[in-house]
A = this chain, B = another copy of it.
Amino acid sequence: MISSIRLYFLGTGGSWPTPQRNTLSVGVRINDEAILFDCGETAQTSLMKSSLSLMRIKKIFITHFHGDHFLGLPGLIQTMSFYGRTEPLEIYGPIGASTVLGNLLSIGYYSLNFEMRIEELKGSGSIDFGDYSVAYAKASHTIPALCYALTEKDYAKLEESKIKELKVPRNLLEKIRKEGSARVNGKTINIEDISAGIRRGRKISYSGDTRRDESLLDLFKNSTVLIHESTGDKTNQSKVISYGHSTGKDAGIQARDSNTKKLILVHFSPRYNDIKPIVDEAKSIFPNVTAAEELMEMEVNIND
């Protein structure tokens, strides 16, 4: 069972870093394990400055192989090894991932003490990790790229009065959750017998780099949090789109049309000294917008 889901904005900037913003990387802590979406340069240093230990990271999902989304990997991996990691690390990415990451790990003089498991994701799909799944779909970008959505499994809300009435021992509750039923004093108790409805699992969607595209609404649908790129605003809209990106307005539309609860904007073009025009555009379409800041952390609240 997942209790806490917490977001860590390790890098929030666009195609290259500035003194104010590093390139993109977002950590998600799910109970005791963590995953990363993208891993821009300096992600390891941001992790060290955050409250998320880099040793908790089990899986890294790369959206695509533009440098600002993955050049923090070799340094992070090397430091994990210096820290004494022996546990395997899973890295997921779009078509080409095996080649790119294979090349990346063959440069220089690594001597890693742990195994890298690289998985190349093709088309769209979903990977089941037990308490949560990660779905992926094709982004609309200039090179092969993915968007991701992490979804917590739906969760039965238990009813204390029914548990007591049926005398179900506490130590069987997780078993009934997982398997749907258990034998108690010679009788079968089903999850429905002790629950009062379903708590919908939290969902965190992550756009990486993409133009606004209706085909992504299914992936983003009913997100608790949608972390969406917003490279520019209406003043440079045609350029933004031609480079495979979204404006603030595009991000707002995707949040609104996917029935998202909260939109968090990232990947602001480094050409903007002031991102207010981008954020205002998104807010003109969708009310609940936050502009990510470096090292911002945020608890993802349980859905009602």
Interface residues of A (CB under 8 A from B): 15-19, 22-23, 41-42, 44-45, 48-49, 64-68, 70-72, 74-75, 78-79, 82, 100, 103-104, 106-110, 143
Contacts and interface: CB of A to CB of B under 8 A. Distances in A.
A16 B19 CA distance: 20
Contacts of A108: 65-67, 70-71, 100
A65 to B, nearest CB: 4
A100 to B, nearest CB: 5
Given A41-B42, A109-B66, A18 B48 contact: yes
A231 to B, nearest CB: 13
Contacts of A65: 107-109
A19 B49 contact: yes
A94 to B, nearest CB: 11
A71 B74 contact: yes
A22 B41 contact: no
Contacts of A42: 41-42, 45
A143 B48 contact: no
Contacts of A49: 19
A236 to B, nearest CB: 15
B48 A110 contact: no
With a 10 A CB-CB cut-off, give which of A41, A49, A68, A109 has the most chain B CB atoms.
Answer: A41
Contact of A41 (B75, B109, B110): B75
Given A66-B108, A67-B74, A17 B45 contact: yes
A289 B224 CA distance: 55
B109 A106 contact: no
A143 B143 CA distance: 37
A188 to B, nearest CB: 55
Contacts of A70: 108
A146 B14 CA distance: 35
A143 to B, nearest CB: 5
A74 B107 CA distance: 12
A78 B23 CA distance: 13
A107 B15 CA distance: 16
A38 to B, nearest CB: 13
Contacts of A67: 74-75, 78, 108, 110
24 contacts: A16-B44, A16-B75, A16-B82, A17-B79, A18-B48, A22-B45, A41-B72, A41-B75, A42-B42, A65-B108, A66-B109, A67-B74, A67-B108, A67-B110, A68-B75, A68-B78, A70-B108, A71-B74, A71-B75, A71-B108, A100-B108, A103-B103, A103-B107, A104-B107
A107 B78 CA distance: 18
Given A17-B75, A41-B42, A75-B41, A143 B22 contact: no
Contacts of A104: 107
A165 to B, nearest CB: 54
Contacts of A100: 107-108
